Amino acid sequence: MSALVTTLGERTLEEVQGILPHEHVFTDTRQGEPPGFGQGNSEDVEKLVVPWLQKLQKQGINCMVECTPIGCGRRVDIMKAVSEAAGFPLVVATGIYREPWIPQWAVDASGAKLYEWMKKELTVGIEDTGVRAGWIKLSAGDDGLTAVEEKILRAAARAAKECSATIGSHTIRGEVVLRQLDILEEEGVPLDRFIWIHTQAESNQEFHMQAAGRGAWLEFDGIGGSPADEDYLGLLQSALDAGFGQQIMLSQDRGWYDPAHPDGSTFKPYTYLMDSFVPLMREAGLAGWEEQLLRINPFRAFAR
């Protein structure tokens, strides 16, 4: 049976009411690993994040995908502590961000070594946390994949196939996504195991249709930020009209404790989507899609 691999064990569809597929608990996006990079006290993070997870749970969302890969200060030990304190399961990622955030060890590593490392995180666990990665998070440059990014993508493709895991990529331009899909096809990965993170950043919707037409997931995931809610509604409606309702996910890219700022910076609540966007969807006559978009699709996209 397929299930989500979370910080609190596996979760089947029956156990999940609602899932946010792209949020953050602890992330550090500073380049070059300056002093204090990725450093944080788990009690401070819990104090900031746990109440918001509990509020989210009251809204009927009881699972969240944490999207921080290597290169962005990933701290699975802290995510695990937060998750346990809130009683809220998180799906955490293996994988590596794009250049120039890719750490030197990964630049130097062979594809085979990167594959073995991701496979270990997906099947055995991450560091000494006892938590398995639930999926693979990557990225690509805006003007195309660099050689190192392509090496990481091919290693991820092999790990994804072996572990029946999904790959999600922060990719801003549609042309780059189509190249990633070509590579995954070459590696034998079914394209319904690929999530186009930040689909909304590509303004040419023709690319959305092409990627979805090949089987990929579209993720409209900056709701509550940019663009405006009405624009998200338009993007959603277009993809639904084109018949891709089984391949769309909605999220906010919100949170998070950022160690680059005092007290982890100003937190962006996870509750925006249910408080503000879902009512707009209902007004637009899309209430019938809530279960599909907020529960079934993200479950199917990430389940292993």
Binding site for Zn ion (CB under 5 A): 67, 253
Task: Provide, rounded to whole angstroms, the least separation between the CB of residue 282 and Zn ion.
Answer: 26
Task: Provide, rounded to whole angstroms, the least separation between the CB of residue 254 and Zn ion.
Answer: 9
Task: Provide, rounded to whole angstroms, the least separation between the CB of residue 255 and Zn ion.
Answer: 9
CA-based R_g, the chain, Å? 18
| Lookup: tokens for 285 | 């006559």
| Lookup: tokens for 41 | 């006290």
Comparison of 202 and 253: residue with beta carbon closer to Zn ion: 253
Task: Provide, rounded to whole angstroms, the least separation between the CB of residue 198 and Zn ion.
Answer: 8
Contact 29, 261 (CB under 8 A): no
- Mark out the alpha helices in the chain (DSSP H runs): 42-58, 76-86, 104-108, 111-123, 147-163, 174-186, 205-213, 229-241, 272, 278-283, 290-291, 297-302
Task: Provide, rounded to whole angstroms, the least separation between the CB of residue 172 and Zn ion.
Answer: 12
Comparison of 67 and 152: residue with beta carbon closer to Zn ion: 67
Comparison of 80 and 137: residue with beta carbon closer to Zn ion: 137
Comparison of 119 and 255: residue with beta carbon closer to Zn ion: 255
Spell out a b/e string for 20-41, using b for 16 or more CB atoms within 10 Å of the CB, else e. bbbbbbbbbebeeeeeeebebe
Could you give the C-alpha distances from 156 to 141, 149, 220, 292, in angstroms and in order? 17, 10, 23, 28
Comparison of 76 and 286: residue with beta carbon closer to Zn ion: 76
